[in-house]
Amino acid sequence: MEFKKILVTGGAGFIGSHFIRHVLNMRPATQVTNLDALTYAGNLENLRDVQSNPRYKFVKGDITDTKSAAQTAEGFDAIVNFAAESHVDRSILGPEAFIQANIVGTHRLLEVARKLKIKRFLQVSTDEVYGSLGDSGSFTENTPLAPNSPYSASKASADLLVRAYNHTFNLDTVITRCSNNYGPFQFPEKLIPLMIFNARSNKDLPVYGDGLNIRDWIHVEDHCAAVLEVLEKGKSGEVYNVGSDNEWSNIQIVKSILKELGKPESLIKFVKDRPGHDRRYSIDSSKIQSELKWAPKITFADGMKRTISWYLDNTKWLQNLQSGSYQKYYEQQYVNR
């Protein structure tokens, strides 16, 4: 089913901003409202190209504020919930914000959806809810939840609330669980943009532990296309894994960035490991591929090349983010590590 009025929460962040652009491009009759609290990770610059589109509207607001979320959601067909605290390292430094935004926030938004009889609620979740893998195997939708960080535990809790609202209140819900995203507009606390920026300025590249942890990378535009497919065609109550069969160790990623930038490997600095660091993620996305006919389109070689050039061409975007609060976080996270 095509929805005519979609409320996107967290749309000023990395993935949400790409999703809004994707919907406006792919669904010419659809209106999108973006409800975002503009935390440190929310940046309206990510949506500069659509800000004057008559089918797009921004509302500053927090999903934990039921009254304003309900006012904003009135008359909408669907809610797509991207709003969250999203960085694992920050959840280790301070879990409370994650409990508020990811658990309390999702619960309040579910209540809004229930009371307003919103036709469909899509929860954007993550593969991290499944925990960590050994050398073989992949996460399927039937893998038991075993989150290891305050971030992933808060996302798993939200997923359970979504499941309960579907089961108990008959709210039409779907959940997507995607692997690691990369692409333009990602906040430079995450591996790929952080390494590009540090390499560009000849700063140390801080690799946690032995650098052999594995992540399964997908281009953000492929993820957004999957979210729209699930929103329109997914079966109520179901979970859909999203991934691109693209596993790399962190050290391989870091070395490939250095190579692309023509910088020496001597910039790599192995630092103390992340506490509770998940070893390997691998997503089995055969369900969404066979049932909804979605498939990733962007190869890693091409996607990374374009991503690196985008960051190099958008240094102003970065400089605007590297405010006092980013410097403070960077020092807390990396200095004397």
Task: Please identify, among the stretches 47-55, 204-212, 237-245, 312-320, the one whose residues bind ligand DAU according to the rule CB under 6 A.
Answer: 204-212
Dump strand ranges (E) for the chain: 5-9, 31-36, 56-60, 78-81, 120-126, 173-178, 180-182, 205-208, 214-219, 239-242, 247-249, 268-271
188 binds ligand NAD (CB under 6 A): no
- Catalytic member of 56, 85, 130, 151: 151
CA 202 to chain centre: 28
Taking the complex as a whole, the smallest distance from the CB of residue 239 to ligand NAD amounts, in Å, to: 13
Binding partner selected for residue 207 from ligand NAD, ligand DAU, none, CB under the kind-specific 5 to 8 Å limit:
ligand DAU
For residue 287, give both structure tokens. 């369900």
178 binds ligand NAD (CB under 6 A): yes
| Interface of this chain with ligand NAD, residues 132 to 151, rule: CB under 6 A | none
18 binds ligand DAU (CB under 6 A): no
DSSP state letter for 182:
E
- Catalytic member of 128, 159, 172, 229: 128
| Interface of this chain with ligand NAD, residues 95 to 124, rule: CB under 6 A | 101, 105, 124
- Residue 319: burial class (beta carbons within 10 Å; 0-12, 13-18, 19+): exposed
- Single out the residue of 141, 145, 20, 150 nearest to residue 84, CA to CA: 150
Q: How far apart are CA 166 and CA 237, in angstroms?
A: 6
Q: How far apart are CA 98 and CA 27, in angstroms?
A: 32
321 binds ligand NAD (CB under 6 A): no
Identify the residue among 36, 128, 172, 222 touching ligand DAU (CB under 6 A): 128
Identify the residue among 191, 196, 227, 242 touching ligand DAU (CB under 6 A): 191
218 binds ligand DAU (CB under 6 A): no
Question: What is the number of residues in the chain?
Answer: 337
- Single out the residue of 131, 136, 173 nearest to residue 151, CA to CA: 131
In angstroms, the first-to-last Cα distance of the chain is: 50
For residue 158, give both structure tokens. 């939200």
179 binds ligand DAU (CB under 6 A): yes
Known catalytic residue: 151? Answer: yes
Binding partner selected for residue 118 from ligand NAD, ligand DAU, none, CB under the kind-specific 5 to 8 Å limit:
none
Would you say 62 or 85 has its CB closer to ligand DAU?
Answer: 85
Q: How far apart are CA 78 and CA 32, in angstroms?
A: 10
- Catalytic member of 36, 127, 189, 278: 127
Would you say 45 or 273 has its CB closer to ligand DAU?
Answer: 273
User: Would you tell me which residues interact with ligand DAU (CB under 6 A)?
Assistant: 86-88, 126-128, 179-180, 190-191, 194, 206-208, 213, 215, 250, 274, 281
User: Would you tell me which residues interact with ligand NAD (CB under 6 A)?
Assistant: 9-10, 12-16, 36-39, 41-42, 62-64, 82-86, 101, 105, 124, 126, 155, 178, 180-181, 187
